[in-house]
Structure 1
Amino acid sequence: MGKFSNSADDRDRFDLHGPKDMMDLDAIDWAKEEHRRRIAACLVKGVYVHENDRDKHRAVKLAPAWWESFGFRLEDEIRDTKYSSTIYGAIFKHTASQPCAPRYVVAFRGTRRNIRDYYYDLKIVMNKLEKRTRCMQACATIEGLMSEEGQDGCIWLAGHSLGAAVAQVVGRGMMEREKPLNLPDFLFNPPYVAFITSIKLLNLLKADPVAKRHFYFASSLLKAAAGLVLVSHRERRESSFKRFSAWVPNLYVHEDDWICRGFIGYFEAREEFKESLTRVGIWFKDHFGGRDKFKKIFARVGIWSMALSHCDVLSWALLGKDKEQPHLLPSVTLWKSRFQPKHAHDLRHWWKPDSELNLGAGTSYSCPVHEA
């Protein structure tokens, strides 16, 4: 392979850091979540390394090993052509014929040290990523693949950090088509954009579990009450949740990563509120009867609390602005890790085997839209 001069080059080498135990193509089980996760993470890493190859003018390219090892070829690059030639995404085509394997994987890297990536990070914080060039270009890329392959073309999305945010926007966008397209989505360390969340506040206060449950209930009840007042805004959010409910992206988050762990707090708070509403519903049934009636009422209240955020409510009430909140997802499968907390935001965790990450089964969260 030739010699490389520094540790940065070494970190890009598949032969040193890649999952070499996955290189037997016949042993890959595409129906197995662990294999899908590990390969998706490697393809995202391939985008990082491909951009490093370009940026550093490497004579010996390190990137191809990250996709060719799993039977993929680079079909096309996705470049930020409006302002620079940087490569932020890639289309990989699977060349082997294997059951449950994708035909294409469209992968997006995260932030590198350049002003353009920092600009997009800022847009995530401002909740203005959706209309930016990269997201629109990425959506157009998927539309182009669909026009070539037809509605049955199997396309996966994958991304890390900033790239996960882009993949999330694209996945939502595909569900908004006239004929919704439900794409499998592998989101590694996706940014949670709400800065002041109940989970962060409670962690700072070192609140005990009982106090957390009461706080979650009060917070969710406040959002539900706001939904009762802001009727038109609430109805748009409910409609949005119903539209996206069938899309179930995979979220891979680290419990010590401040960028993405807000998702853990959000979904745990949702479950706490649902359980509290169930207990209240049982009490109403025991005292007043009419179980089905109260069940529907409390299910509706639960959806209001899931579909609204405090910042969302304040923005609408004070400024009259109605923007989608990309971190509010109706349905997900959430995978949590505590592997190597000093490097919590690193992509490299996610191509490790389950035995090292101690992931266990992912937790499924859903919104009961059928009861609304």
Structure 2
Amino acid sequence: MGSNAAGKPPASASVSWEFHTTGPRNLSSPGWRDLIRSSWRDPNYRRVAMSCFVQAAYLLELDRQESTGSGENALAPSWWKPFKYKLLRPLIDSRDGSIYGALLEWDQLSALSDLIVLKPQAAPKAVLAIRGTLLRPQTVARDLEDDLRFFARDSLRGSVRFTGALEVLKSTIHKHGSSNVCVAGHSLGAAFALQVGKALAKDGTFLECHLFNPPSVSLAMGLRKIQEKAGKALKRYISSSSSSSNASGGSAEEPQVASQIGEEKLIKEVKTWVPNLYINSCDYICCFYADRSGVATVTTEKHSGVHSKLYVIAKGPNKFLEAHGLQQWWSDDSELHLAVQDSKLMYRRLKSLYVQQ
């Protein structure tokens, strides 16, 4: 679950992934005007920034492998500096010493050089960006280990990366507050971002979350769905048998109706955590989050019970490697639609946050 854009760069990575060459073309430079009308209020600018931060997490590891991390040839810094952020700390996997994430923080000193005396409204104070699978000899073993962990268990809680990311987020939230912190990830990194965000949401801490090409298929999820269907079929059989043998008793459907009413009430009353999903329907790793019945349409309406903001590529790459890549999310050539329909798969993943199990 990696990326052709960042997960498996060509041999000439030092040329291919320079920000001025492959980064966003029409990115506006921050200035004093952002104090009046912040670019961060624009969802498109926010998406571009978050995808660039995740790209920086990929490049931090590439810089480490190529021994360019602290030199002038380092690629990663150019992907956060244009947004006036700095690297607070990299997240390191204790199993192989690889960098799997980056904690970035608003750089007020750099902002002053462009006459930005205060942090623009809506700009997060800190962002945790988590990369996906990096198909290189030094990282592929541990990355694929976590890929298989997710596929087999639909959970990444046993990974040292989950523990590390969760600890970093908790300390950052304690410092800045949850409303000033974001988490973003691509592919496997999106799976980590989703699960650490969910863990925090269970404790009542709701964090802004951006998920680029999150994996949608797992063996555990499929088995769980089959088990749930079998359980419902068994309950219907027992209910019908009970009602036929005891016609004088109450309606067998009453408990089921009461359960549905209770579930709907919980969904409306409980504060909902709403992550942002970015999906390309031509990417078979993440496509099952999207509604396959048709093209999503643009909407600005707020619907009760919505569990995710699902952004679907309407015009973008249609070959798998490019469709799963990170580069499309900062590209000016891509067109996005915000889906009116909610993602049923995302609801299943987040169900424990809204309804009693």
TM-score over 0.5 for the pair: yes
Q: Which residue of 1 aligns with 2:208?
A: 184
1:293-312 matches, within 5 Å, as none
What is the CA deviation profile of residues 40-89 of structure 1, one whole-angstrom value per residue up to 9, with x for unaligned ones? 000000010111000111241111000001110001111102x1210000
- Shift, 1:183, TM fit: 0.7
- Shift, 1:144, TM fit: 1.1
Is residue 29 of structure 2 the alignment partner of residue 24 of structure 1?
yes
Is residue 11 of structure 2 the alignment partner of residue 13 of structure 1?
no
What is the CA deviation profile of residues 128-152 of structure 1, one whole-angstrom value per residue up to 9, with x for unaligned ones? 3123211111111111112223x45
1:212-251 matches, within 5 Å, as 222=229, 225-226=232-233, 228=235, 242=267, 246-251=272-277
Conserved? CA contact 1:94–1:104, under 8 Å: yes
Q: Which residue of 1 aligns with 2:63?
A: 53
The aligned length equals 277
2:93 to 80, 88, 96: 80
Q: Which residue of 2 aligns with 1:147?
A: 174
1:116 to 118, 142, 145: 142
1:103 to 125, 141, 165: 125
TM-score, normalised via structure 2 length: 0.68
What is the one-letter code of the residue matched to 2:232?
A
2:308 to 322, 326, 332: 332
Tell me how far apart the structure 2 counterparts of residues 181 and 197 of structure 1 sit (CA, whole Å).
Answer: 25
Q: Which residue of 2 aligns with 1:346?
A: 325
Aligned Cα root-mean-square deviation (Å) = 3.6
- Shift, 1:36, TM fit: 0.4
- CA shift in 2, pair 1:223/1:19, >3 Å: farther
- CA shift in 2, pair 1:185/1:152, >3 Å: closer
2:192 to 152, 160, 166: 166
SS in 2 for 1:84: coil
What is the one-letter code of the residue matched to 1:19?
P
Conserved? CA contact 2:150–2:218, under 8 Å: no
Q: Which residue of 1 aligns with 2:163?
A: 136
SS in 2 for 1:78: strand
What is the one-letter code of the residue matched to 2:89?
D
Tell me how far apart the structure 2 counterparts of residues 142 and 197 of structure 1 sit (CA, whole Å).
Answer: 26
Is residue 324 of structure 2 the alignment partner of residue 365 of structure 1?
no
Tell me how far apart the structure 2 counterparts of residues 75 and 227 of structure 1 sit (CA, whole Å).
Answer: 54
Tell me how far apart the structure 1 counterparts of residues 270 and 145 of structure 2 sit (CA, whole Å).
Answer: 28
Moved more, 128-137 or 154-163: 128-137
Larger proportion of helix: 1
Unaligned runs of 5+ in 2: 1-9, 109-118, 239-254, 297-304
Conserved? CA contact 2:179–2:207, under 8 Å: no
Conserved? CA contact 1:23–1:69, under 8 Å: no
1:265-276 matches, within 5 Å, as 265=291
Is residue 257 of structure 2 the alignment partner of residue 252 of structure 1?
no
- Shift, 1:362, TM fit: 4.1
Tell me how far apart the structure 1 counterparts of residues 182 and 214 of structure 2 sit (CA, whole Å).
Answer: 16
Percent identity, please.
Answer: 28
- Shift, 1:21, TM fit: 2.2
- Shift, 1:340, TM fit: 1.5
Tell me how far apart the structure 1 counterparts of residues 337 and 178 of structure 2 sit (CA, whole Å).
Answer: 31
Relative CO higher for 1 or 2, CA cutoff 8 Å, sep ≥ 6? 2
Conserved? CA contact 2:102–2:130, under 8 Å: yes
Tell me how far apart the structure 1 counterparts of residues 197 and 232 of structure 2 sit (CA, whole Å).
Answer: 30
Conserved? CA contact 1:251–1:332, under 8 Å: yes
